Structure 1
Amino acid sequence: MSKAVDIKPSKERLEYLRGRRRKKLLISLAQVMILIIFVAQWEITARLGIIDPFITSQPTRIINTIIRLYNEGQLFHHVGVTCLETVTGFVSGTILGTFIAVILWWSEFLTKVLEPYLVVLNSLPKIALGPIFIVWFGAGITSIIVIALAISLVVSILEVLHGFASTDQEQIKLVKTLGAGKLQIFTKVVLPANLPVIMNSLKINVGLSWVGVIVGEFLVSRAGLGYLIVYGGQVFQLDLVMSSVIILCMAAGIMYKAVVLVQQLFLKSRI
């Protein structure tokens, strides 16, 4: 049996890889340093009275507020409610948007009929529909999820449909000459070519879903991070408002990173 040849990377290749690792490390260090400097200046200026901590809060007060919410058993309750609403709106918006995009791609007539309505709905501020959804679905979690769905749905449809329409026509003509039908064209050419587009729409929908949920919680909610922000503003507890905003940023960042990780794993599995 022949032995496998051990191919070692060249010196230039190793130097290139080391350079990339150094660059990534420097970027990460710069990001961390910016955050540390910002938080430190915020805390110092608040302690020195340069800024009013009652209006701007300060890091130590925010930490104490988060600890208090945890000790009172409210932290995970409010975070869990908002995350549940966001994930539900995100998943339903992505799946339903992709499904409708497939239907529109399948029927050119339907696409031309509905395209003006999709453009109008995309330009319409979805917040204006919030009170209507509350009347239709009641003042509860369902209305919040529907608002999040409304904000992300049309964007998903247009994004995925544009990807389907931009598929290489030469490939489609090739499989047509080989006798492929509409279903085979979609499954063998259109869908595989646009999987990156669908994955990219996931990243877009993350932010849109968070926006929809927080807007819904501003309008009608009894729990969630949006509820804490509104309540804190009403009773002038700016520590609670800032704490909720920071928790919201962390949760949104984690969700976005999770989607990016899924995308990277998916792309690696295709190689």
Structure 2
Amino acid sequence: MANILSVAAVGDRVVDPVTVATASPSPEYLAWRAGERRRRRAIAATRLLLLAVFLAVWEVLARTHLVNPMLTSYPSALWPAFLDLLRNGDLVGHTWATLKATLIGFALSMAIGTSVAAALWWSGFAQKVLDPFLVIANAMPKIAFVPIFYIWLGSEYSVYGMAVAIAVFVTIMVIYEGFQGIDPNKVKLATTFGASRAQVLRLVVLPGSVPTLIAALKMNIGLALVGVIVGEFQSANAGLGFLILNGSQVFKLNIVMTAIVVLGAMSGLMYLVIARLEAALARRYA
């Protein structure tokens, strides 16, 4: 009986579903997979080529003094500077200070931004009242707040304040627009089945806004890093921003450029983590 139930009729043939499931992929599918692999390799190789060309042009321009190496340094001088900073322990300490402040500012901005956006979605009256204030706060140059944060929070915590100030208002507006973009028919259907406002938010709005939340994550991590660096320029005594500012004041451009390269690597790694998170959530909410 089990064997009889495990087969199915397809046209004039009797096909075992297990055999169908384990059948080899079609030649067209294999060709498509091979083409996708070649495309990914070509993209990676082109990226590396562009980076190599940029470094080579930078090196040649500085070595031939077409640009002043005192003002730009050159790639071959960065590796010794990197090793020197690494041996002294300065690079690890300053990198960790910047990374820690960025992650804390990023987490605070996302938590505050998502909570406020949910509150605005919950109450249309609150959204109407607060909308112009949010627009004005987002448009203000945040660097003007550095002295205030320094007085209020001190040299250490003012960096976190700048990270949140730069990232949070954009986060609120982006996430709120994502909440508003949810299909109203889905909200109406959930309400018809007796869902409360909180259940609609938790079961319909938040899962439906995953692409918007991912976009906010990508944007927020960069804005938080910008806020941290601005804060370190103005008031900190540690961090890559402090290292850049200190190196520029004594014309040690090797240190400045090394810190900038580390910042670029840090940004790339954080973006890669969010991209992996995006891929995982896309599979779950597809």
What is aligned with 2:135?
119
Partner residue, 1:58: 74
Identity of aligned residues (%): 38
Q: In terms of mean alpha carbon deviation, does 34-43 or 229-238 score higher?
A: 34-43
Q: 1:256 aligns with which of 264, 268, 271?
A: 271
SS of structure 2 residue aligned to 1:9: coil
Q: The residue matched to 2:251 in structure 1 has which SS?
A: coil
Residues 171-229 of structure 1: CA distance to partner in whole angstroms, max 9, x if unpaired? 11122222222122112211110122112100010110110000000111111100011
Q: Determine if the alignment matches structure 1 residue 224 to structure 2 residue 224.
A: no
| 1:240 is the counterpart of 2:255 | yes
Aligned partners of 1:45, 1:126: CA distance in 2, in Å?
36
How far apart, in 1, do the equivalents of 2:66 and 2:178 lie?
52
Match of 1:105 among 118, 121, 133: 121
1:129 aligns with 2:145: yes
- 1:186 alignment partner, one of 194, 201, 212: 201
Which residue matches 1:76?
92
Distance 1:93 1:122 in 2: 13
Amino acid at match of 2:177: H
- In structure 2, the partner of 1:206 is 221
CA contact (8 A) 2:178 2:209 kept: yes
Structure 2: give runs of 5+ residues left out of the alignment. Answer: 7-15
Partners of 2:159 and 2:278 in 1: how far apart?
27
Does the 8 A contact of 2:207 with 2:285 survive in 1?
Answer: no
Q: 5+ unaligned residues in a row in structure 1: which ranges?
A: none
Q: Please give the alpha-carbon distance, in whole angstroms, between the structure 1 residues aligned to 2:86 and 2:203.
A: 51
Shift of 1:9: 2.5
Separation (CA, whole Å) in 1 of partners of 2:190 and 2:68? 68
Shift of residue 101, structure 1, vs aligned partner: 0.9
Matched, 1:48 2:48: no
Figure out how many residues of one structure are paired with residues of the other and give that number: 270
Q: Give the deviation of 1:20 after TM superposition.
A: 1.6
Report the TM-score when normalising by structure 1: 0.95
- Please name the residue that 2:11 is paired with: none
Does 2:54 align with 1:38? yes
- What are the equivalent positions in structure 2 for 1:147-166 lying under 5 Å apart? 147-166=162-181
User: Which residue of 1 is the match for residue 155 of structure 2?
Assistant: 139
- Tell me, in whole angstroms, the C-alpha distance in 1 between the residues paired with 2:52 and 2:266: 20
Q: Specify the code of the residue in structure 2 equivalent to 1:39.
A: L
Query: Which has more radius of gyration?
Result: 2
Deviates more, 1:183-192 or 1:146-155: 183-192
